Amino acid sequence: MMRFLKFILFFYLMINVFNVSNGNENFFNKGLELFNDKKYEDARFMFERSIVFNPKDSYSYLYLAKIYNVKEDQKKEEKNLKTALLIDPSNEEAILMSMKVALKKSNYSKVKDLSKTFTKVCKKLCEENKVILESLNNIEPKNNES
């Protein structure tokens, strides 16, 4: 009888562990689906729920930053990008978005620093770095002439 109870308890715990690990993926995937459908408020809620189950999910923070970019809330966008990069310093999409935020804020030295990091980790978005650096080069001479 005691073995049977232990087996039932073990089985119950395994099912719960499996459900919790799947729950995070379901929240992220649902959030991604809502984001792609441009239902940003619902997507934000799902990404936040995903973070509750897995606080180290850098992609949930990245997509929150994208939502705040669309909503033009630069402070929250930057906060989520910093968190995503803290968790995964080689997240090229987060680095690229951080470069764009720094460029908007005219923080050119930060753009150059991020660009160096981006060059080391880029795999898919390498051309974007060149575009940003070209726009930075177009801006800098104007500032030196003043």
Residue 89: per-residue pLDDT:
93
* 98 token code pair: 């951080």
Q: Which fold has domain 1-88?
A: 1.25.40
Residue 11: per-residue pLDDT:
57
* 84 token code pair: 């995503």
Q: What is the pLDDT of residues 97-117, one digit of tens each?
A: 998 898 888 888 888 888 888
Would you kindly state where each structural domain of the chain is located, as residue ranges?
A: 1-88, 89-146
Q: Is residue 101 within 8 Å of 74, Cβ to Cβ?
A: yes
Which contacts (CB < 8 Å, 24+ apart) does range 115-121 have? 117/89, 118/92, 121/89, 121/90, 121/92, 121/95
Report the alpha-carbon distance of residue 97 to residue 69 in Å, rounded: 9
| pTM for this predicted structure | 0.74
What angle is formed at CA 95 by the lines to CA 92 and CA 101, rounded to 5 degrees?
A: 145
Report the alpha-carbon distance of residue 92 to residue 90 in Å, rounded: 6
If pLDDT is split at 50, 70 and 90, which confidence band does 141 have?
Answer: low
